[in-house]
Amino acid sequence: MTVRVFLVDDHELFLSGVRGELADRDRFDVAGWATDVDDAVAAIRRLVPDIVLVDVHMPGGGGLSVIRNVTETHPDIRFLALSVSDAPEDVIAMIRAGARGYVTKTIAGDELADALARTADGDAVFSPRLAGFVLDAFAGTLPQPDDPELDQLTPREREVLRQIARGHTYKQVARRLSISVKTVETHVSAVLRKLQLSSRHELARWATDRRIV
Amino acid sequence: MTVRVFLVDDHELFLSGVRGELADRDRFDVAGWATDVDDAVAAIRRLVPDIVLVDVHMPGGGGLSVIRNVTETHPDIRFLALSVSDAPEDVIAMIRAGARGYVTKTIAGDELADALARTADGDAVFSPRLAGFVLDAFAGTLPQPDDPELDQLTPREREVLRQIARGHTYKQVARRLSISVKTVETHVSAVLRKLQLSSRHELARWATDRRIV
DNA sequence: GGTCGGATCAGGGTGATCCCCGGTTGTCGG
DNA sequence: CCGACAACCGGGGATCACCCTGATCCGACC
């Protein structure tokens, strides 16, 4: 089964280079290409390719705009980001926008074809140096899922903690739990003391850091 | 350059299968193996391999424990998770713990060798069906990176907003920005009004939700 | 029966938060 | 020049957050 590829890059020469490279391979069928964001979005919506190879840095919003616009209407189309930049911000931004992979332009033709094929199959492809960034950033979203400190808290205190972390006032928590404001204060004080914190703001940060909300 | 591999799996048979598979390949040197968590952690710390192939489901905490314990003392050692399970929870948990890749046990010997080599090189390797989970989960950590509401705020208000979101009191913000507490109050009031919020706690939540901190 | 912890509530106090009103300065464009 | 706006500062007051002491009730445990 051939993979229908769409190319987006503001460099004509690079574009034709990729076209030439893919033309020799039976696996790929270059459905179309574009050199700016608006043309790309329109053409992709019309042609509905299997995968889009998109440059990151382009006038008019860059590859980010292309991915966001297209995925709104066609969430099934896959994106492989291609860039001269190996800056972590760029990589993270593209992945968060929905790109299924990210390779740098130093890549060889064979490798690019391999990356496209793998991405089309549902695999995730990153240039070696980039894979670390993505996984580090992802791992960083949850530092420690275990928490011996939470064991110090009674069930009721944990319940109050959750409510406070959500930003509710003492009064609101009291109503939700059908207890008095004074009881809420007692519980919050106990939690703050046990966790060595000093304010409900620190408490909220503490809770969101370990995803208790 | 050979890659020194350590194997962790509670199934002896599977373990010897992998050893046999890798023994034929010059690229790999199986530095050691273990069938439970404690032995694995001790041996890995002693041998310091380049990469650890670790089973996800094992008595004694599973691969998660191995990764967590080892990375505390040896953050440079890479991990490739290997499992019969393709459940999103397992995949996400392992990646968050620090695994550089995740493949299922349906994988062929050649593919496993390829995955190990790629992971050792710094690449990220996932079984095709799994890559989607990881990237979806990662993309899900940031729902809307655009924020039309932020445009309503003046630069100074945004600055104050960041400080408040970090949990600082008005007094602290005033000192940091070298302005009076009253001015901070004014800015905060403006921000709350413009963003249709009613307390600094909601504001903190609002800010952390869209990663402004 | 006594003791202990968990959960509930109250009074009283200090500081922080938030809103209302007011004001000054400076900049920018009509 | 004048209006609009951003940034700055103040008084006063209502409410909220946090801490302290002290209290009652209940169930578990020795």
pLDDT tens digits, one per residue of A54-93: 988 887 778 888 888 888 888 888 899 888 777 767 777 8
User: Chain A contact for B143, CB < 8 A?
Assistant: no
* Strand C at less than 7 A from CB of A100: no
pLDDT beyond 80 at A189? yes
**Contact residues for B206 (Cβ-Cβ < 8 A; gap 6+):** B195, B197
* Strand C at less than 7 A from CB of B200: yes
Q: What integer is the mean pLDDT of B142-163?
A: 71
Packing angle, helices B109-120 and B12-23, rounded to 10? 80
Mean pLDDT of chain B: 82
Q: How far is the CA of B109 from the C1' of D30 (A)?
A: 62
Q: Looking at the partner chain, which of A97, A123, A202 has a beta carbon nearest the beta carbon of B128? A: A123
| Strand pairing report for A78-83 and B28-34 | unpaired
Looking at residue B212, its pLDDT comes to 57
pLDDT beyond 70 at B93? yes
Compare B141 and B149 and report the one with higher pLDDT.
Answer: B149
Domains of chain A: 3-139 (3.40.50.2300), 148-209 (1.10.10.10)
Residue linked to tokens 């990356």? A115
Residue linked to tokens 């010059």? B26
Question: What is each CA distance from A59 to A17, A56, B120, B136, B138, in whole angstroms?
Answer: 20, 10, 37, 27, 27
Mean pLDDT of chain A: 82
Of the candidate ranges A132-136, B15-19, B172-176, the one whose mean pLDDT is the lowest? A132-136
Let me know the angle formed at the C-alpha of B201 by A142 and B199, rounded to the nearest 5 degrees.
160
Residue linked to tokens 């919050």? A188
User: Chain B contact for A143, CB < 8 A?
Assistant: no
Bridge partners, B6 (sequence order)? B32, B52
Q: How far is the CA of B187 from the C1' of D11 (A)?
A: 18
Q: How far is the CA of A180 from the C1' of D22 (A)?
A: 17
pLDDT beyond 80 at A139? no
Looking at residue B143, its pLDDT comes to 46
pLDDT tens digits, one per residue of B27-71: 899 999 898 888 899 999 999 999 999 988 877 778 888 888 888
